[in-house]
């Protein structure tokens, strides 16, 4: 079974609108971390936001927020006030903390296009 599922292959949004990128995960480990990365066409992976499994509040970083629904095992990324520069691939990733592993498992990613 896939550990990270991103079902939306691509999304289009108008500039200045908010958009939600879906991510569901699967783990039996009670301690884990969830990450979102952005990959523009240049190829670099840019860290956006992190949510720990024990965090009580949803993580926020500027225009990015993570809608963490632990019971549903979902960690959707919300981008408010989209900008043209937000057009990129977005990857959700999970780190399971068992054994002290730092390995990340990535979803397949989804392509966001922001239209002017």
Partner 1 sequence: GAVVSQHPSWVICKSGTSVKIECRSLDFQATTMFWYRQFPKQSLMLMATSNEGSKATYEQGVEKDKFLINHASLTLSTLTVTSAHPEDSSFYICSASSRDRGLTDTQYFGPGTRLTVL
Cβ distance to partner 1 smaller for residue 99 or 116:
99
Q: Evaluate the CA torsion angle 13, 17, 105, 28 in order and state its sign.
A: negative
Q: Based on CB atoms, which residue is closest to partner 1, 9 or 116?
A: 9
Provide the binding-site residues for partner 1, judged by CB under 8 A: 33, 35, 37, 42-47, 50, 52, 91, 95, 102-104, 106-109
Q: Which residues contact 35 (CB under 8 A, 6 or more apart)?
A: 47, 48, 49, 50, 51, 92, 93, 94, 95, 104
3-class SS of residue 8? coil
Is the CB of 16 or the CB of 98 nearer to partner 1? 98
């Amino acid at each position: 079974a896939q550990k990270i599922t991103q079902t939306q292959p691509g999304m289009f949004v108008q500039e200045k609108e908010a958009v939600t990128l879906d991510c569901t995960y699967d783990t039996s480990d009670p301690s884990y971390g969830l990450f979102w990365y952005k990959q523009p066409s240049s190829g670099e992976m840019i860290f956006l936001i992190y949510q720990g499994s024990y965090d009580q509040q949803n993580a926020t970083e500027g225009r990015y927020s993570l809608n963490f629904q632990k019971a549903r095992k979902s960690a959707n990324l919300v981008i408010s006030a989209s900008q043209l520069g937000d057009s990129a691939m977005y990857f959700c990733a999970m780190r399971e903390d068992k054994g002290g592993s730092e390995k990340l498992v990535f979803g397949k990613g989804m392509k966001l296009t922001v239209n002017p």
